[in-house]
Structure 1
């Protein structure tokens, strides 16, 4: 198996580190080749705080993934989260030298590169520059400007920023684990790739990824990313509360949360108890499930109130920005019983649990069904997109020039139906990186078809 046939996603989480190896099958779905998982020992609230332990955990997860997939792992797409992440809105523009030539991906990349030169606060670095809407000359609200003509290309951007130190620490851990970092992706964006549908993104939806150390949020409306943030609390703090509230060790607290935890105390009976083994000869301890649910509920409500604050900051309760598709809960924390009902009540939005196996073709044993794999599968999908883009043959300049020369020689008016048809074909072809034919071949096919019609 050749290197370019598969991609790898690496999720460096607070509770676990997951490596997933996969490739795209003939039907466009993802075929998982191997999965590796290791306990995360050096990460706190999404931020690396112990370099050597994190490196060892990454190595263990990668080794397991290599063993189960049978392929060597060299490049990985890595997720980033943490309370240091912030986002901002920014508008910028470029003036094109030749407005007679249509807008290409190079123009968009030049505009993005200009935004990446923004001066940030000391110690900060730009992670993502995400275009929202474009404006070509006086025409606004354009989602896809490629193929259009114009002198001035302008866009609104959603810019994601993080602390340089945290980014460098992740990069160092990946490098010293013997890997090359292909890309760094904000974790809620990766999760949204694996659990959200296009219809939900269009209608308006908030993905709430409750991980071990952080709760990551991304809001979409009209297929555009509108807001991202990271709340520095997750499932780990619920475990800590159970440990303190019930006076038990962390291992037992985590088991209680996973097996018996509930977000709504009213749904638990007063008479139901669970027995926890005593420590080293001490008597067993009985804990009421209603008491457990009350401890869990207090912390979950606090996290959901923070989610509500972010929804208000975006304007989700305004009619124009309303999230018709509501909320999608994912991440390991979304496995908590009755969480969906509490989220519906607290936020006022309808919610569902987002499972990450919708795009996976070969998950017969349901190993990846759990929402805790949403981020890692999303990172794999992002890695596959990067690979597809690199393998897709770029539009050759000489072929473009040839097409323009042919059109000029035939003196075809820009408003003629035939010309518009050809221009549409070229524009659409520029967006298809996964097609078997290259863009150059598509253009030549279009020109050939044009001359057959003229004859």
Structure 2
């Protein structure tokens, strides 16, 4: 199979690294060709803190995915998260020289590039510049200004910022694992592609992705991303609390959480007890499930309240900004028993668990349709989109060349030889940023 026929998403998480290979079938659904996962050993709260261990884990996941699919992995789309990610709102404008000419793509590019020149804190870099609404000569709430007349073009932007060092470290790990970096995407954006419907994005929805090291939030309204945040707590701190509270080892704490854990303490009776084998011939330990639920409940409430503060910061209580579709929970942490009910109780908003199965082909493995793989599936979708764009651009270039060559032959008789003019696709601001990042990583060697 050719490289162009399939794409790869790589999710570098705090607890696991997932490499997922897939392609789009004739019905526009995603067919999973292979999946590989390994324990993530060099990542803490979404940030790489041990390059060697992370490279080993990436290679392990990639080798497993290659063995499962019989395909070779070349270029990958990677997600970025971590507590260093922050977002801000920014407004900017440009004054056009000639208001009698219609607004073109180059004007929108100029405005976006101007935002990229914003002065950030030392060591920070802009990852995404996401336009919200545009204004043309004071006329507000314009979604697409291209083709309109106007002298002053302004827009509100949602700007996502991250630490240069963290981005560089991710790139370093990818390169050292023998892979090409196709693109970098903010993880909550990838998860939202996988589990949210367009109707939910229009109505207003908050996506909460509870991972091992971080909880990511993405808020959509009117089909546009309005707010993003990364909270530096996830399922890992719940496990840590169980370990400390019950005086047991981490492996046992994780098993207790996944098998018997509940976010609602009232569910368990006082006499429900689970016995855990003691270490090295010691007596087994008896743990009350009610106490276990109390430990989990306390930490989960803290995480949800922090997320709810971010939802309030966005302005959810204003009528115009109301999130009609409520909350969608995804990620490994969303599988905790009774979490949905607790989130509804704390926020008063409708809640559902988000599964990435909507975009997957019918014969996909059930395991991949778990919320655990939402980010990985979203990254794969992003990789497929990039592949499609590249294919279309190449086809356009070939068509343009053929037309130019025909023109050259037609005009040869009149000795007016036209020079072939290659068609240049307008690159999105993010594509340009990706190229700049690649160049930056190449020079950093």
Q: TM-score, normalized by length of structure 1?
A: 0.84
Q: Which residue in the other structure is 2:414 paired with? A: none
SS of residue in 2 equivalent to 1:155: strand
Shift of 1:138: 3.7
2:231 matched to 1:226? no
* Cα displacement string for residues 12-63 of structure 1 (whole angstroms, at most 9, x for unaligned residues): 0000000111111111111111111010000000010000000000111111
* Cα displacement string for residues 184-216 of structure 1 (whole angstroms, at most 9, x for unaligned residues): 111111111101111111111100000000000
Give RMSD over aligned pairs: 2.0
Q: Which residue in the other structure is 1:325 paired with? A: 325
Q: Which runs of 5+ in 2 are unaligned?
A: 404-425, 427-445
SS of residue in 2 equivalent to 1:392: helix
Q: Which residue in the other structure is 2:380 paired with? A: 380
Shift of 1:317: 1.7
Distance in structure 2 (CA, Å) of the matches to 1:157 and 1:315: 16
Distance in structure 1 (CA, Å) of the matches to 2:355 and 2:326: 16
The number of equivalent residue pairs is 400
Distance in structure 2 (CA, Å) of the matches to 1:361 and 1:298: 39
Q: Which residue in the other structure is 2:216 paired with? A: 216
Q: TM-score, normalized by length of structure 2?
A: 0.86
Q: Which residue in the other structure is 2:159 paired with? A: 159
2:271 matched to 1:271? yes
2:293 matched to 1:293? yes
2:11 matched to 1:11? yes
Trace 1:305-320 onto structure 2 (pairs within 5 A): 305-320=305-320
Distance in structure 1 (CA, Å) of the matches to 2:285 and 2:84: 40
2:91 matched to 1:72? no
Q: Which runs of 5+ in 1 are unaligned?
A: 403-429, 431-455
Distance in structure 2 (CA, Å) of the matches to 1:161 and 1:340: 30
2:260 matched to 1:260? yes
Trace 1:315-354 onto structure 2 (pairs within 5 A): 315-354=315-354
* Cα displacement string for residues 53-88 of structure 1 (whole angstroms, at most 9, x for unaligned residues): 000001111111112122211111111111111101
2:302 matched to 1:302? yes
SS of residue in 2 equivalent to 1:294: helix
Distance in structure 2 (CA, Å) of the matches to 1:256 and 1:292: 8
Distance in structure 2 (CA, Å) of the matches to 1:95 and 1:213: 45
Deviates more, 1:86-95 or 1:208-217: 86-95
Trace 1:40-119 onto structure 2 (pairs within 5 A): 40-96=40-96, 102-119=102-119
Distance in structure 2 (CA, Å) of the matches to 1:139 and 1:23: 43
Q: Which residue in the other structure is 2:406 paired with? A: none
Distance 1:64 1:100, change over 3 A: farther
2:157 matched to 1:136? no
Shift of 1:278: 1.1
Distance 1:364 1:385, change over 3 A: closer
SS of residue in 1 equivalent to 2:367: coil
SS of residue in 2 equivalent to 1:393: helix
* Cα displacement string for residues 221-262 of structure 1 (whole angstroms, at most 9, x for unaligned residues): 111111111000000000000001111100000000011100
Distance 1:48 1:297, change over 3 A: same
Distance in structure 2 (CA, Å) of the matches to 1:246 and 1:237: 14
Distance in structure 2 (CA, Å) of the matches to 1:353 and 1:104: 41
* Cα displacement string for residues 83-134 of structure 1 (whole angstroms, at most 9, x for unaligned residues): 1111011122334566566444444333322221211110000011111112
Distance in structure 1 (CA, Å) of the matches to 2:258 and 2:108: 46
Q: Which residue in the other structure is 2:37 paired with? A: 37
Contact 2:15 2:212 (8 Å CA) reproduced: yes
Shift of 1:163: 0.8
SS of residue in 2 equivalent to 1:26: coil
SS of residue in 1 equivalent to 2:184: strand
